[in-house]
Structure 1
Amino acid sequence: MSDIVSLTLTEVRDKLAAGDIKAEEAVAACLDRIEATEPKIKAILHLQAAKALKTAKALDAAGPDPAKRLWGVPILVKDAICVADAPTTCASKILENFVPFYDAACIRKLKDAGAVILGKANLDEFAMGSSTENSAYQITANPWDLSRVPGGSSGGSAAAVAAGQCFAALGTDTGGSIRQPAAFCGTVGIKPTYGRVSRYGLVAYGSSLDQIGPLARTADDAAAMLTVISGHDAKDSTSAPREVPDFEKAIAGAADLSGLTIGLPDEYWGEGVDDEVREACRQAMDTAKALGATVVPVSLPHTPYAVATYYIVAMAEASSNLARFDGVRYGRRAPQAKTLEELYELSRSEGFGAEVRRRIIIGTYVLSAGYYDAYYRKAAQVRRLIRQDFLDAYSKCDVVCGPTSPFAAFPIGKMSGDPLQMYLSDIFTISLNLAGLPGLSMPVGLGKDSGLPIGMQLFGPAFDETAILRTAKVLGNALPKLPQPAGLA
């Protein structure tokens, strides 16, 4: 069984298709791995072992289906995405008893492709955080060092993939919440272009920023997942009516980086980046040049304003989106409330954690009369300038590259008492969400001082996920492979 969970998604998929492994064997191997590792890392909120085995047995009875790209492959899903008849809590007490009766669009596509849903992964409450310490239920540990965070908010998904509990997982990325935990846990994570993947069935945090995407072990695995979950959806008004390429086939023959121009923004490589992060990313760039890429300097001059801009926009949208959880229409209803005002106040104060309440309050403030123009309108204007920075950069290069995070995974509890410091940790990821462009984080080695995974980001033009997937595939094949996570040894 341990041999099965060490395979990549594409490897296990091919063995399943050939009949070398049964779907039930693949699911059982993941469940065994979960049983062995879950007490240490606490990546999963809701495990559906019996249902997953039943699904796998039904697949085996019908036999492999070549038309189904992910036939028999076990997958985990971030608990902000609706799965029919499975709890969807967003790691919040206010939704602890919520069980949707429908599948999100991406889940429906996964099931149609033959994937087996194992359960729901932990996250920061309502996806608000960068460490998965804000969950109302448990703190997830990093498989590389159990005293450190896995990143967030998709930390449960990233940790589960790194620990071998599944072959891929879905996360969501509002300001880096796929890419940053991918970097901390040594996995590949991709945030697609805004509109590439339907948001139908995703519990919204920041509606103009959120995107669903995969976390996996290799670029090929991520490409296979992205091909399945992408596509226009009439139920989502933000879904783009764009043709979806077969990303896996598009990168299949990639062997070098000849003809590729990579832009290095000064703002991502200077002050504030740990030496071990800069060194690992520089070595990856040396490898890219050896593979035929041309490296040129570019500038993203409005990067210093990205953190303030992002948190104004995101908190304003959070305030609006979470207004529906009021004790009347959705979620927890305070039983001791005697008046309507008490019902609102008690249901929300008891149901939401501290970080969610903080963001709702700030978001309401920046949208209030007298402050809207000073904050939200100004942030919207700066957001446009940030997007223009990327468009200008792409006139000089094919992809933009920089560290995913200024540092490797930090100790649990180190930043939980300092929200501003935690917000600043997203400095290299949030610009891409504001611009609505695709980005991918890939592991480029272990830090010389920390011994922890270092992640590097690749940014692409709108709807050109192929460019960053191809670059990640070639680089990933050339760079030394990471060993098994030390924390689970």
Structure 2
Amino acid sequence: METAPDNTVTAIAAAVRAGERRAIDVLEEHLAAIDAREPEIHAFNLVLADEARAAAAAIDEAVAAGRDPGPLAGVPIALKDNLCTRGIDTTCSSRILEGWKPPYDATVVQRLAAAGAVTVGKTNLDEFAMGSSTENSAFGPTRNPHDTTRVPGGSSGGSAAAVAAGFAAASLGSDTGGSIRQPAALCGVVGVKPTYGRVSRLGLVAFASSLDQIGPFTRTVADAAVIMEAIGGHDAGDSTSIPEPAPVLTTVLNDEVAGLRVGRITDLPTGADPDVVARLDAAFDALAAAGATIVDVTVPAFTYGLTAYYLIAPSEASSNLARYDGVRYGKRVAAPDTNAMYMATRSAGFGDEVKRRIMLGTYALSAGYYDAYYGKALKVRQLIADDFARAYADADVLLTPASPSVAFHIGDKTADPLAMYLCDTYTIPSNLSGDPAMSVPFGTGADDLPVGVQILAPALGEAVMFKVAAELERAATAEGSTS
């Protein structure tokens, strides 16, 4: 019986570079998977089959000519549809940008292409990345490949689902308050939010500029390390880009965790389901068995993260989304005068959740309320950063749940915005502090659905974060093989 090919990022790239597999054959396998299940999952807003075939053929020509196409040679990758792609629709899953074709590629898109990756499509998301379930898309919800009655998480649900379903070997998402880590947990894949400024935001359509960060979804920790090395590093076109080269991560994955201090946050907000807490406890046990020391720490301001975020992020969104006015690009609804055209265009172009956050942010920034709401939220943000800094004086990394629950059913939380916002309880604080964090699959919970454990590290601490992630992955693999 013929065994299925290893379609991890590292295996595909190694085989294509060595001439053992053709990039076009790898691509066709993934396009066949898309044809088979995409109608039920809806991971994509746009599948780029013809463009991908041309890119794969060019890679095969380079290999045949003796040239190295790069460290991601022939790797099929999916891009969240808020990353600019030159001449290709970039909608942010919003009617207001339907049909807009950017005149340039995002920096991360350029870097993936330069490394030899093959873009297979643009993935669905909550409109303008505002949501935790990918139900807020103007083009319909994405479904979880493990159970299509359930959500894949959000806002990068399409990117997470694409990897979980085998439509792409890797994908990129954006994370403003957990939009990579939460869907990674719900879909059973690895998801990384780098240190703020570690990956260029040039070409990422802005939601909240001081919080947004681009990162990968993959099936393995090693694959995430390879993608991070490809997309990370300084970009002069992004004023918030850290002036350092991309982090070296692939070399630390086999390092021992013996001697590392792993922090358990004793004042962590409650609310996680018992099955999720059980998997978190098992992760602490696995790291202790591997020689790490478990230490208790406190992060008192952690519990205020959600409140501060839902003042800061909508405030920045209300400013960033003011540019969508029907004048320069995107949707325009005809009206008798300019002000009426603005109102008609935005009413028709924006969905309910986007309108909700714009109004909330505009109110928080308004005269008479700025200091009471936005200004106070900024002070809480600093408290969170200070509390994390104190915790990292005693611990090298921290562990928390990535999501309070396994994937919930489609429609369960759409009528209650607060219930949806609570999905990001454990992920938001690291966006506010700017520190890196990632979700690693660690077994299953209720209904045999995936559970993700979140690893948090201090700023620029990706190396130690990946070292711990690799150890947890090994422990999960060993547990799965004996269960």
TM-score, normalised by the number of residues in structure 1: 0.95
Alignment match, 1:308: 307
**Whole-Å separation in 2 of the counterparts to 1:74 and 1:246:** 22
Q: 1:481 to 1:17 in 2, by over 3 A?
A: farther
The amino acid of 2:351's aligned partner reads: G
Q: Assess if the C-alpha contact under 8 Å between 2:6 and 2:12 holds in 1.
A: no
**Whole-Å separation in 1 of the counterparts to 2:448 and 2:267:** 25
Alpha-carbon distance, 1:65 to partner: 4.4
Q: How many residues align?
A: 477
Alpha-carbon distance, 1:350 to partner: 0.2
The amino acid of 1:462's aligned partner reads: A
Alpha-carbon distance, 1:250 to partner: 3.4
Alignment match, 2:371: 373
Alpha-carbon distance, 1:18 to partner: 1.7
**Whole-Å separation in 1 of the counterparts to 2:5 and 2:398:** 33
Deviations 1:90-112 (A, max 9, x none): 00000001011211000100001
Alpha-carbon distance, 1:67 to partner: 6.5
The amino acid of 1:328's aligned partner reads: V
Alignment match, 2:325: 326
Alignment match, 1:348: 346
Quick one: which of 438, 453, 456 aligns to 2:453? 456
Unaligned runs of 5+ in 1: 484-489
Alignment match, 1:22: 22
Q: Assess if the C-alpha contact under 8 Å between 1:5 and 1:29 holds in 2.
A: no
The amino acid of 2:276's aligned partner reads: V
Unaligned runs of 5+ in 2: none
1:130 equivalent to 2:135? Answer: no
Alpha-carbon distance, 1:481 to partner: 7.1
Alignment match, 2:431: 433
Alpha-carbon distance, 1:244 to partner: 2.3
1:477 equivalent to 2:481? Answer: no
Quick one: which of 411, 416, 421 aligns to 1:423? 421
The amino acid of 2:327's aligned partner reads: V
Alignment match, 2:108: 106
The amino acid of 2:463's aligned partner reads: T
Q: Assess if the C-alpha contact under 8 Å between 1:4 and 1:12 holds in 2.
A: no
Q: 1:87 to 1:419 in 2, by over 3 A?
A: same
Alignment match, 1:486: none
1:85 equivalent to 2:87? Answer: yes
Alignment match, 2:61: 61
Alignment match, 1:271: 270
Q: Assess if the C-alpha contact under 8 Å between 1:151 and 1:180 holds in 2.
A: yes
The amino acid of 2:420's aligned partner reads: M
Q: Assess if the C-alpha contact under 8 Å between 2:208 and 2:314 holds in 1.
A: yes
**Whole-Å separation in 2 of the counterparts to 1:184 and 1:420:** 19
Q: 1:156 to 1:131 in 2, by over 3 A?
A: same
Alignment match, 1:189: 191
Deviations 1:53-98 (A, max 9, x none): 0111111112174461101111000000011121100000000010
Alpha-carbon distance, 1:477 to partner: 1.5
Alpha-carbon distance, 1:315 to partner: 0.2
Alignment match, 2:170: 168
Deviations 1:304-348 (A, max 9, x none): 21111001000000000000001112321103x111111100000
Q: 1:353 to 1:365 in 2, by over 3 A?
A: same
| Identity fraction in percent | 50
**Whole-Å separation in 2 of the counterparts to 1:481 and 1:43:** 30
| Secondary structure of residue in 2 paired with 1:281 | helix
The amino acid of 1:412's aligned partner reads: I
**Whole-Å separation in 2 of the counterparts to 1:384 and 1:5:** 48
Q: 1:374 to 1:50 in 2, by over 3 A?
A: same
Q: Assess if the C-alpha contact under 8 Å between 2:181 and 2:438 holds in 1.
A: yes
| Secondary structure of residue in 2 paired with 1:381 | helix
Alpha-carbon distance, 1:288 to partner: 0.8
Q: Assess if the C-alpha contact under 8 Å between 1:324 and 1:330 holds in 2.
A: no
Deviations 1:254-296 (A, max 9, x none): 2x3111110010233x632211001111112111111111101
Quick one: which of 45, 69, 72 aligns to 1:70? 72
**Whole-Å separation in 2 of the counterparts to 1:180 and 1:402:** 12
**Whole-Å separation in 2 of the counterparts to 1:8 and 1:112:** 19
Q: Assess if the C-alpha contact under 8 Å between 2:397 and 2:464 holds in 1.
A: yes
Q: 1:66 to 1:478 in 2, by over 3 A?
A: farther
**Whole-Å separation in 2 of the counterparts to 1:258 and 1:482:** 20
**Whole-Å separation in 1 of the counterparts to 2:115 and 2:479:** 29
Q: 1:406 to 1:104 in 2, by over 3 A?
A: same
| Secondary structure of residue in 2 paired with 1:97 | coil
Alignment match, 1:149: 151
Alignment match, 1:287: 286
| Secondary structure of residue in 1 paired with 2:424 | coil
Deviations 1:147-183 (A, max 9, x none): 0000000000000100110000000000000000000
| Secondary structure of residue in 2 paired with 1:242 | coil
**Whole-Å separation in 1 of the counterparts to 2:31 and 2:196:** 33
1:466 equivalent to 2:463? Answer: yes
| Secondary structure of residue in 2 paired with 1:480 | helix
